[in-house]
Amino acid sequence: MSIIQKIALVITIVGAVNWGLIGIFDFNLVAFMFGDQTVLTRIVYALVFVAGLFNIALLFLRNKHHITQEI
């Protein structure tokens, strides 16, 4: 696993934990830490979005690579 993959995974986990806190406790950790809709909050949300897309791409690329290795 490359360093970029690890960073994307950590950012995705941060987003998942934040959504879990919102769903269970109605508590937005990112907004609590950086303020509601500040530039920093929006940057964190954007990073989580990009990391999620990156992980989706990894999932499909890894599955495609795995299938071609089996043949």
pLDDT tens-place string over residues 15-71: 999 999 999 999 999 999 999 999 999 999 999 999 999 999 998 887 666 555 555
Residue 34 contacts residue 67 (beta carbons within 8 Å): no
* The overall pTM is greater than 0.85: no
Q: Please state at what angle helix 3-25 crosses helix 39-70, rounded to 10 degrees.
A: 120
Q: Rounded to the nearest 5°, which phi and psi values hold at 26?
A: 55, 45
Q: Map tokens 């109605």 to a residue.
A: 26
Residue at 65: amino acid letter:
H
